[in-house]
Amino acid sequence: MGITRTITAAGLAALLTTGAAAPAAAAPEQGRGTERGRGQAVQEPVRFMTYNASLNRGTEGQLQRDLATPDNPQARAVAEVVQRGAPDVLLVNEFDFDAGGRSAELFRDNYLAVSQNGQDPLDYPYVYTAPVNTGVPSGLDLNQDGTAGGGDDAWGFGLFPGQYGMVLYSKHPVDTERVRTFREFRWADMPGHLIPTDFYPEEQAGRLRLSSKSHWDVPVRIGGRTVHVLASHPTPPSFDGPEDRNGRRNHDEIRFWADYVGGPAASSYVYDDEGRRGGLEAGARFVVMGDQNADPHDGDSWPGAIQQLLEHPRVQDPLPASAGGPEAAARQGGANLSHVSDPAHDTADFSDDPAPGNLRADYVLPSENLRVVDSGVWWPAPGELGSELTGEHPFPTSDHRPVWVDVALGGGTAGRP
């Protein structure tokens, strides 16, 4: 597989442009880019995929131990699913973060780059991962139970720092000098926010972070053009009380991207973790990716949460679909029978009785200046190839299904290079 070096953002940019040796490894609080070999030739369309792969573990370091050898059953099954989809750019949600980025490299080298069940291996020379808020102690009693500590009182729910993190794999170079992260953005700094101030005391409300994990703007260079991958994983709009603090947060985490791409008037309040202000420039190409934990009509979402993106003038909804979603909804019954959303677009196989049932939770939403060629939800119906990789609880892979969209960069309206 060659030698892999994990380096700072500035160091990776220098290596890509000059071929110079990399500097020392980044400090734990920096995002980490990994580069191996050269980017592959560009062939359009380009496939973007998001997959909540449930590669999270209950204890810190366990995922790295599981991925250190090539024989973890779940990781092999997840890798086979990805290989069947063969994305050019892949976002994995619920992948535990470690400061050295070692788990991300191990999953690539031991699983994605190794044929699973006869599938073609995938080579991703570029990997990006960075810290998240899950499991990071806030020092505050955020659930108001009289004590400060534990997963519920972290900046984002988690049992240890980095649980339920994210990682981006790409066949095309990541412009790490221009990556922006928004992990420390304060929820109260969003105008018109939905913070339940009757639940959070003023001192807490002013310090809350918006992102339950993080929001990343990761520019990917494809054939001389840049596509900004806008990656996130908002909190589920549940596991709270009548104050609906998680539903409100989920709404505003989704709103962040809607404002970020909405022009200067909408995004003027935005600042990143380096203090740079403002949103995405007009005409930029982007793809919003991730488990947004929000269905357009069903489940516990705050009203209109995901519509902030689906109905945004700069965003396309390709309406990816599957054959397995409708079959599962009909067979499982329960809450699915009263759903409004078309089950063909479902991406998550949740408990059906009690609610919420199966939902559309995961999204790949291209900007209007990208031409959508094809899309889908990878949810084969029983008897179809690969259906054994989805299954039902306990799932061999995840309770989520991958969502993919093929785009041509030259389509749509004129955009910036």
The pLDDT-based confidence of 143 (bands split at 50, 70, 90) is very high
pLDDT digits (tens, 9 = 90+) for 185-211: 999 999 999 999 999 999 999 999 999
Contact (Cβ atoms closer than 8 angstroms) between residue 408 and residue 371:
yes
What domains can be seen in the chain, in order of their start residue? 5-408 (3.60.10.10)
Angle, alpha carbons 339-385-69 (nearest 5°): 100
Per the prediction, the chain carries an average pLDDT of 90
Q: Is the pLDDT of residue 216 over 50?
A: yes
The pLDDT-based confidence of 414 (bands split at 50, 70, 90) is very low
Q: Residue 229, SS3?
A: strand
More confident residue, 394 or 51: 51
Q: Which tokens sit at 101?
A: 């980025």
The torsion angles phi and psi of 325, rounded to 5 degrees, stand at -60, -50
The pLDDT-based confidence of 393 (bands split at 50, 70, 90) is confident
Residue ranges with strand state E in 26-85: 32-35, 46-55
Q: Is the pLDDT of residue 90 over 90?
A: yes
Mean pLDDT of the 339-365 span: 95
Q: Which tokens sit at 228?
A: 């900004």
pLDDT digits (tens, 9 = 90+) for 260-316: 999 999 999 999 999 999 999 999 999 999 999 999 999 999 999 999 999 999 999
pLDDT digits (tens, 9 = 90+) for 25-61: 333 345 777 766 554 556 789 999 999 999 999 999 9
The Cα–Cα gap between 103 and 162 comes to: 11
